[in-house]
Structure 1
Amino acid sequence: MTATAASAPRLDEQICFALYSASRALTARYRELLAPLGVTYPQYLVLMVLWERDAITVSELGERLQLDSGTLSPLIRRLESAGLVIRTRRSDDERAVEVTLSPAGAALQERSAGIPDQICAATGFDLEHIAALQSQVTELAAQVRGSR
């Protein structure tokens, strides 16, 4: 059975497309803001986790960012090559690799301090609206993950 044009789902009515489009728009704005710092959006996410909690294992970082090691390892290698992070094997468990900020990576936090405010301004929403939207999207993601 095939769907007719009248019964086929419309792209603009799909939540997945609305979220995808919003994500692309936000990521593009981040790209503009991060370019002067020399980091990509995924690298910025890694740095944000490290600014919250320096010295974290690669596996913990992957859990926090919901990224597999095949995606995360190249990100960390590029950050290390740029002199922003340091990777070391843990002395108590040589299988575990720990990632810490370098002094340059720590200093980048101050240089990036205005980015969240600029992103908030770009949305045109007040902080209360942004917080509510963030909460709803987080809940949506959890619901979808739990429905498998």
Structure 2
Amino acid sequence: MRILVIDDEADQASINTAKMGNPQDEEEIERTTVNRLIIDLVKGNDCESNRSNAQFQAMNYVSFTATPYANVLNEAYRDSLYPSNFICNLPESKEYFGPKVIWGSKADDNYNGLNILRTIPESEMKELKLLHKGSTSTLPTEFQKSIAWFLCSAGLIQELFF
């Protein structure tokens, strides 16, 4: 049997988020269920971590994620999903929409940031704190504007898709 596992959004369930024991002792390392099952599959084990009766002619595990550094979240131990041979950084598509597009980049003149972020004036921050404490029920001006923008965009989406 030849197996190809393609793990899309590899920064989600396949990462081991359990508390790690002594990295020198594989027995002390706890694993989340999905992480353990994928590692067992890659190693040719069954779901109980015993050597599988079915021998694999080829086993390939390919993980994809748009999250920078997602693979770094995987532990770099002997029996890990962290790539032992390579990590390939793909070029960004024209449709990419992430932190660099939103906030801009000092290192790249092509990314100036979008005009969608608003700074709340210090005077309104004081009003927000009073609102959170329940001392007032008046919404600051910028808060009112943000709610209006949200309602307009939700209305537009409603109009376009429903």
Q: More helix per residue: 1 or 2?
A: 1
In the superposition, the TM-score normalised over structure 1's length comes to 0.24
Relative to the length of structure 2, the TM-score reads 0.23
